[in-house]
């Protein structure tokens, strides 16, 4: 590696652009400019991109086969050092790219300097980030598939377990717990679709765009794109180095997913409360209180709920950073990495935590059933019966049912407990057959419309979802 030590009577030059600048950067400039503390996570992607670039340069006759072999061998050694933890990342070398290049020069000498032919750190980092995000999307998808599996298993077991469905957090209509859980399976399916769409759009290679204008060297961008698993090279060199849409899309998909997980976590918090007592979480996913011995807190669910705000903040920060940037590259874009890394790390915590809670939760079917006695859940079924059996316009049926609900409230009983004589005071045409419409089990079993809550629908939807998602 070249000697960048300060000579007597001369200021220290920057090792990257010392030929242009006589003085080295101030300490604060070094500190604000350095990114290796976080972008070292791109090291393996950087090495993969460099190997593909070097191989292409050899194939095009721009590098000798001897230099190409030396570069590939040196990069393999660096990759092994990084994996083992033996590699030292030096903040003075600014970023992951220069750290690897400096180590390569130590290993193979002058040939290392030829690796950067027809390449800039602008297209280099854009390539690294795309590779990293692509791998992360694949890992997130695996975790989401595991979560869907846990939900499907619980939904299948609870296909006929009845509980109130809520709107406005008020009892609305009876549903099955399996049907409720299947709603989250669908939500997560859309999340996986968003990540897949992001992956498809990001899968273009910036490598070869150089700083912003392309290069005069006779390179083969198709070859490097293919070597790195990209579908094609990016079509415009300026867009290739300045585009961070894939980061935004990843963060947007991550934010929507985090919101979905937060909603599920909130329900777990409610369901585990003694006021509901609908499910119990394993001891391993709850905590106690430092002062109240009886407490059993759903901390895992609360942390999943809380960390959604963190992911949303990552997206907001990225949008704000990018909104005022002209073409093409600005150092502001160094700020693209930490939000993406943070969101990815957060997802890889909260998805498995949610999976563990869902897979480990115990369902209290008796408490769910008992809760259906509150809120007159079959009121809509009664209105529907009046429409079908008495040919009553629905608005009139709604009014009649409301009067019957009010009567039941006055008497302090459920709709099915009202005497037929009482019902006939409101609507004389009612017969004993009306009680069939007020039966909870019949009401749930009758919801057989496509996407409905009937147990046979739930079983069928679980089977179909396993084929669609797993």
Query: Which are the catalytic amino acids?
Result: 168, 289
Strand 279-280 versus strand 232-233 pairing type: unpaired
Beta carbons of 150 and 358 less than 8 angstroms apart = yes
Q: Classify the C-alpha dihedral 124-127-133-136 as positive or negative.
A: negative
CA pair distance 303, 262, nearest whole angstrom: 9
Encoding tokens for residue 81? 């050092």
Strand 232-233 versus strand 204-205 pairing type: parallel
Beta carbons of 405 and 415 less than 8 angstroms apart = yes
Beta carbons of 239 and 202 less than 8 angstroms apart = no
């809520």: which residue's tokens?
166
Beta carbons of 254 and 314 less than 8 angstroms apart = yes
Q: Classify the C-alpha dihedral 136-142-145-149 as positive or negative.
A: negative
């Amino acid at each position: 590696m070249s000697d960048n030590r300060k000579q007597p009577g001369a200021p220290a030059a920057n090792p990257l652009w010392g030929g242009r600048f006589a003085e080295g950067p101030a300490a604060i400039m070094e500190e604000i400019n350095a990114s290796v503390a976080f972008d070292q996570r791109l090291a393996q992607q950087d090495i993969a991109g460099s190997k593909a670039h070097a191989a292409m340069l050899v194939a095009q006759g721009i590098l000798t086969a001897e230099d190409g072999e030396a570069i590939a061998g040196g990069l393999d050694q660096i990759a092994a050092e990084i994996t083992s933890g033996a590699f030292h990342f030096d903040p003075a070398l600014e970023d992951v790219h220069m750290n690897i290049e400096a180590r390569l020069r130590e290993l193979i000498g002058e040939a290392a300097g030829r690796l950067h032919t027809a390449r800039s750190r602008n297209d280099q980092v854009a390539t690294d980030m795309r590779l990293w995000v692509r791998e992360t999307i694949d890992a997130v998808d695996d975790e989401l598939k595991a979560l869907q599996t846990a939900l499907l298993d619980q939904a299948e077991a609870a296909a006929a377990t009845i509980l109130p469905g809520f709107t406005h957090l008020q009892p609305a209509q009876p549903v099955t717990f399996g049907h409720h859980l299947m709603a989250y399976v669908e939500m997560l399916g859309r999340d996986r679709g968003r990540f897949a769409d992001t992956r498809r759009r990001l899968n273009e290679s910036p490598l070869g765009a150089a700083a912003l204008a392309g290069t005069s060297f006779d390179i083969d961008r198709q070859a490097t794109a293919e070597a790195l698993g990209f579908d094609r090279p990016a079509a415009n060199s300026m867009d290739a180095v300045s585009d961070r849409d894939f980061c935004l899309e990843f963060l947007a998909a991550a934010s929507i997913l985090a919101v979905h997980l937060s909603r599920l976590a909130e329900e777990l918090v409610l369901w585990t409360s003694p006021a509901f007592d609908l499910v119990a979480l394993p001891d391993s996913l709850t905590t106690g209180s430092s002062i109240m011995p009886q407490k059993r807190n759903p901390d895992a669910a609360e942390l999943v709920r809380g960390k959604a705000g963190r992911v949303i903040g990552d997206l907001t920060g990225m949008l704000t950073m990018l909104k005022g940037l002209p073409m093409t590259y600005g150092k502001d874009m160094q700020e693209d990495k930490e939000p993406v890394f943070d969101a990815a790390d957060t997802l890889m915590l909260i998805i498995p935590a949610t999976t563990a809670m869902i897979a480990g939760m115990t369902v209290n079917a008796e408490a769910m059933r008992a809760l259906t006695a509150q809120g007159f859940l079959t009121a809509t079924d009664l209105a529907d019966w009046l429409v079908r059996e008495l040919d009553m316009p629905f608005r009139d049926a709604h009014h009649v049912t409301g009067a019957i609900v009010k009567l039941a409230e006055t008497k302090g009983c459920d709709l099915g407990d009202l005497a037929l004589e009482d019902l006939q005071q409101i609507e004389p045409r009612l017969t004993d057959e009306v009680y069939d419409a007020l039966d909870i089990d019949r009401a749930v079993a009758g919801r057989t419309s496509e996407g409905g809550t009937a147990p046979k629908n739930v079983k069928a939807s679980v089977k179909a979802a396993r084929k669609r998602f797993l």
